[in-house]
Amino acid sequence: MGQKMQCLAELHSHSTVSDGKSSPEEIVLRAVYLGLSAIAVSDHNTFRGSAIAIESAKKQDLNITVIPANEVRTIKGDVLVLCEKIPYEEPPKFPSELHDWAISNNCITIAAHPFHIGRKSVGKYLKNNLNDFDAIEVWNPRGIPFLNNPAMKLAEKYSKPKTSGSDAHILQELGTSPTEILADECELYNILDSIKKGKCNPTKHYMGLTTMFNVLKWSIKRRI
């Protein structure tokens, strides 16, 4: 077998399709500029951002893997769903059903920012239902940094695959904390398979002060 490649993947971002500031096309171009191997445009409760990003990357012949993604707001909290292709049916809103659905549709599920206070998080449910998730997002630079610690401890205790993601809502956030993935190739199947098998490592970085200020500005503006 050949040597594994290290793929840098941004697994958590949002576009204008949901509550992000930038279009899917802008996100893909920014991801290429940053030298990322893969990008997931994971808009809330829709794969439409991903579909636009995939089409944009194809039209421009960009050297990047665009992962079909959706941050599903389940009744227990947010779950990232990453797929080999965009599914034809809507994902269910209960985590156990969502995981079964993900298996049937060649997708994986990741518990997003599971213990972040004030956000739609699956933390309480996750503790007692680890098998409903393929991986845990142990580092998310949004919110208070120490709130990532319980996710890291839980993942390490039960040997669950660990990921990280910027949860970007503005371009400056994108790629802040990509996941390092060891795979034969930086292609869709290989990336998802490696995450599921735990052949991935989170990166732990913080947003800069300027980025934090711009995030706050966007948060206020979209609520007005």
CATH code of the domain containing 122: 3.20.20.140
Domain of 23? 5-223
Q: Please report, to the nearest 10 degrees, the dihedral formed by the alpha carbons of residues 177, 62, 193, 96 taken in order.
A: 70
- Entry pTM: 0.96
Q: How many domains does the chain have?
A: 1
Return all residues near 169 (Cβ < 8 A) that are at least 6 apart.
13, 14, 19, 20, 21, 215, 218, 219
The CA-based dihedral angle spanning residues 6, 155, 196, 172, taken in that order and rounded to the nearest 10 degrees: -50
Residue 204: the pLDDT is 96
Tens digit of each residue's pLDDT (9 = 90 or more) over 144-183: 899 999 999 999 999 999 999 999 999 999 999 999 999 9
